[in-house]
Structures are given as C-alpha cells and as structure tokens.
Amino acid sequence: MLTNQEARRLIGLSKKVIQKGSPVDVIYWRWTNGKARYFLYAEQEPNYSFLFDIQQSLKNHLKITLHFQEDTSKTGLLRIDYHGQHLNPREIKSSLPNRFKPYAGKWFDYHEHHIHYHVEDYKPLAWAIPLADDEFPTKDITTTTDIFSVIQEFAVRINLETRFERVSS
C-alpha cells in the first residue's frame, strides 16, 4: 500500500500520454462519447504506469469524473467529481492528514463538487474535500464548454507534460 507521501510523489512525477507505445507531446481532443482513457508513463519511474480516465454521465452532461491512478496496482491517487455524490469515512486513523479531519463522515451531494485524495490505511480515494476548500482552480462547471478547461487544469495537477488541444467538431 502506498503512503501519503509516496502518493504525492507519484502525482508530482512528470508524465506523458503513451499512444501506440510512444510518448506524445499533444493530444488533439474532441469530446465525442462522454469518456476518454489515457495511459501515462513517467520516464523517471519506469516501474509504474498510470491511467488518466475521464467520464461524463450520459444523463447529466455536467456530471464529470476525472480520475488518476497508478495503473499497475489499480491504486487511485486523485479524482475530481463534479455533480457526483460521496460519503467520507467516519473513522479517523492516525494516517489521516489534518486537512481531512473536519470532513469525517461528510456527505457530498450532487452540487458539492469535491476532490478525492489517496490516504494510506483507507480504501483508495475514500476521502474527499470540497473543491471550494482545495487549490484546484475550477470550483464548479455550469456548461459543457467548461469541461475542456477542467481537463487541462487536471492535467496540470497530475503533472502531465502532454498538452491537450481542442479540435473543432
């Protein structure tokens, strides 16, 4: 199991999207089906592989999940949910960083967007805090045109060197 420090280190590694076995500098992005998956590689940590997954609800087009995991172990490292629901654990273990403690047992409803972090000694991504209380720049999305900028911001947050460029439909 990853420690909190190791999870932060993995998030901070420089990464690139891998396509057809090679790293790419640019992804030409067109939102077509409500989901996208990108496999990532960090040259300085060849023993790890990563997955960046984007999901959009077919019923509620503003319900978006951006998920980042270490893919070999399938360990979630970071996830953002817009218009999703979540219940944090009630139990506070010694490994829980102080910033999460005020949110023990907190229920996030559809309109309280939140960000999940890996916390050791808990199920992967069991803990979340409101985006309003996090440094992630986009606190809310109100139209589907907001999705592209959120993807770009999340890519920055996970230290993805591959750039996303929008392609017209």
Beta strands in 94-152 (DSSP E): 107-108, 114-117, 127-130
Looking at the structure of the chain, the number of domains it has is 1
pLDDT of residue 122: 97
**Whole-number pLDDT of residue 32:** 65
pTM listed for this prediction: 0.94
Structural domain of residue 44, as residue ranges? 4-166
pLDDT < 70 positions in the chain = 32-33, 169
Instruction: Please name the residues in contact with 78: beta carbons below 8 A apart, sequence gap of 6 or more.
Output: 11, 67, 68, 115, 116, 117, 118, 125, 157, 158
Q: Distances from the Cα of 113 to the Cαs of 70, 79, 81, in angstroms?
A: 23, 11, 6
Query: Tell me: the pLDDT tens digits for 32-71?
Result: 668 899 999 999 998 999 999 999 988 888 899 999 999 9
Q: Give the separation between CA 163 and CA 143, rounded to whole angstroms.
A: 22
